[in-house]
Amino acid sequence: MNTTPLAERIRPKSLEQFYGQTHLLGKNGVIRNIIKNNSYPSMIFWGPPGTGKTTLANLLANESKRPIYKISAINSGVKEIRDIINKANSSTGLFTNKTPILFIDEIHRFSKSQQDSLLSAVEKGIITLIGATTENPSFEVISALLSRCQIYILNPLSRDELESIFNSALKKDSFLKKKNIKIKDKDLLIELSGGDARKMLSILELVINNNPNKKRITNSLIMDCIQKKNYIFDKSGEYHYDTISAFIKSIRGSDPNGSVYWLARMIEGGEDIKFIARRMIILASEDIGLANPNALVLANSTFQSISVVGLPEARIILSQCAIYLATSPKSNSAYNAINNAEENIKMTGSLPIPIHLKNAPTKLMKELNYGKGYLYPHDFDNNFIKQEFLPDEINKNIFYRPGKNIKESKIEKWLKINWKNKYNY
């Protein structure tokens, strides 16, 4: 039995073998043009696991014939970064127009000081940085480094792309070719992958290795194997996404018991506590919103607090916040309102801004009547005066509809008193 994982054995060695990310690597894709022009900026690849971030970094180095240094933010620090920068700096004379690439996996796990240590080398062109992250880089990558990098989003792989990958594995992997494996049922394998090629190949390999005499892979065989082996993926894979989903749905469903249980599962599994806190900030607006505006304040305070305190004590702060959010009244009215407004914009485009709402900082703009007719609310009783704030073409639209809770019932009453029929739900 080959001890090298299947995903590693069939890792693409050329762009022609790479599946997915056609928006980046297609005929007019931005990374395809980078390779063609041999002009490599520092970049950050942002996308879920198994979408090809590491592979793409390797292929970029191969295509440009540049040396590549690879480290993981989990087990590397400033010393390793400085050693690589020193090597790159001393070798630049050997590589004309071939600045070495420094690939950092899970770059979001680097601290501010670790990220700071990259700035000078990136700015001076000593290295070309390629970072990989499953998290939104806006949250975890410092702004100074972010401004020096291009951000490229990698998408989960489609069904067709995943199918092409496992078909290629069966045909080209030297170990699997000998076994003459046939996949009868594809649906479960693809569904379990969640767009993650590495996960899909890991399941396939698990099933084949544990059923050495089976030539046909069926859904029942896959499920039986997974259940027998109590197959749980690492925290960056299925465990990560399924458990956070259970956690969020428990809070949304107002169940503090479920919320704390799934929170404990994530903490025990080594989940990034900042990731948990960020998800609670989002939920505080998306699912609680105006029913209890203090929820967002507490969620944001929780994020700040755990960043200072850290584990193990941070688990208490997370528990407090999760219970508070679970027991808060719920409303998704703010979430629906912005969705409604965005959908309207997609249909109506950029409608003219009413002239009374325009700014008039110059004499010419005043002569053009910019701002004319605008009524300053603070000049009127109760700091309110009825006037139109939407373009004429859509002034009958209602984007915000108060939720059915005590807080928003008061908002609805206030709107009806002041706006009369405009907000007549």
Q: Where are the domains of the chain?
A: 21-153, 159-228, 238-326, 350-419
Average pLDDT, the chain: 87
Torsion of CA 331, 333, 339, 343, to 10 degrees: 140
**Contact in structure between 354 and 391 (CB atoms under 8 Å):** yes
Residue 129: the pLDDT is 95
Tell the CATH superfamily of the 21-153 domain.
P-loop containing nucleotide triphosphate hydrolases (3.40.50.300)
pLDDT at 238 over 70: no
What pLDDT band is residue 233 in, cutting at 50, 70 and 90? very low
CA-to-CA distance for 327 and 317, rounded, in angstroms?
A: 16
CA-to-CA distance for 324 and 312, rounded, in angstroms?
A: 20
**Contact in structure between 152 and 31 (CB atoms under 8 Å):** yes
Beta-carbon contacts of 110 under 8 Å, excluding residues fewer than 6 positions away, are 73, 104
Residue 229: the pLDDT is 55
Most confident of 52-61, 214-223, 391-400: 52-61
pTM: 0.60
What pLDDT band is residue 48 in, cutting at 50, 70 and 90? confident
What pLDDT band is residue 320 in, cutting at 50, 70 and 90? very high
CA-to-CA distance for 214 and 96, rounded, in angstroms?
A: 53
pLDDT at 236 over 90: no
Structure confidence by residue, pLDDT tens digits, 159-191: 899 999 988 888 888 888 887 778 877 888 888
The fold of 159-228 is Helicase, Ruva Protein; domain 3 (1.10.8)
Beta-carbon contacts of 416 under 8 Å, excluding residues fewer than 6 positions away, are 423, 424
pLDDT at 319 over 50: yes
Q: Please name the helix (run of DSSP H) or strand (run of DSSP E) that holds residue 152, with its range, or none.
A: strand 150-153
Summarize the confidence of residues 242-265 as an average pLDDT: 91
What is the CATH number that goes with domain 350-419?
A: 1.10.3710
- Percent over 90 (pLDDT), the chain: 39
Range with the poorest average pLDDT among 54-63, 276-285, 383-392: 383-392
Residue recorded with tokens 């915000």: 400
CA-to-CA distance for 9 and 175, rounded, in angstroms?
A: 10
Q: CA distances (Å), 409 to each of 288, 290, 420, in order?
A: 14, 10, 16
List the one residue out of 94, 91, 99 whose CA is nearest residue 126.
Answer: 99
Summarize the confidence of residues 204-228 as an average pLDDT: 80
What pLDDT band is residue 2 in, cutting at 50, 70 and 90? low
- Under CATH, which architecture does the 238-326 domain have? Up-down Bundle (1.20)
